[in-house]
Amino acid sequence: MAAEPGTELQLADWRRRVAELYADVRAFAEEQPEHAWEHWVETRERLFKTHPQSPVPAADRPTFRARHWPYDPELRFEATLESEPPAAIGGLAPLPLALPNSGADVLSFHRIGSVAIPFPAGARRLTVFWMEGYAGGLFLAFRDATNGTETYGAGRYLLDGAKSADLGGDPALGTLILDFNFAYQPSCAFDPHWACPLAPPENRLDLPVQAGERIA
């Protein structure tokens, strides 16, 4: 959602603080991933309670408490991105597509590839997108069997590079860090006035991912 007139500096500060948080996460997680997660949980709760650009409605911020499953090291992966093949005609760039959205906004993405996630219950595949326009960036939203009961009904985010939610990876090896302990609800889960791109049908998992942020 665009900044309301007069709030641009607040929104810039929110983005700056989130970017700093994820920079800390990437640095800490190299040696201590659970410590990185604890820092992420504590910092996000503080921002959600106190920052004027928090997605939590202002009246609810003083009593807001974040809820998470305990950290599960088996749900942290370094996954290889299997790139989307070039367009069939002339190697053209892939056509943009619109993902489901909680509001009227239409944001364009294109698929850049997919990752096979070796969950303890068996491997599953998720598509990774790149956001067109705006600030650009990686985007990975997913749905799972916790949605609608323990988590937001329309799914959660794992990566959103336009908002600095990037857990890292090795571009030389073509890998991404996908730690589901950092899965979080989109802003529209807290207040419907936010418009959020949502997980497409191809990213709906048939198993519960009991890690990351929860609402119940």
Domain membership of residue 47 (yes or no) is yes
pTM of the model: 0.89
Domain membership of residue 2 (yes or no) is no
Residue numbers in the chain where pLDDT is lower than 70: 1-3, 85-107, 134
Range(s) of the domain holding residue 157: 8-214
Q: Where are the alpha helices (DSSP H) in 55-192?
A: none
Total tally of structural domains belonging to the chain: 1
Q: First vs last Cα of the chain: how many Å apart?
A: 26
- pLDDT at position 193 is 84
Q: Read out DSSP for 164-195?
A: TB---EETTTTEEEEEGGG-B--GGGT-TTS-
Q: 94-127 pLDDT, tens per residue?
A: 556 656 565 556 668 889 999 999 999 999 999 9
- pLDDT at position 84 is 75
Domain membership of residue 182 (yes or no) is yes
- pLDDT at position 88 is 44
Domain membership of residue 30 (yes or no) is yes
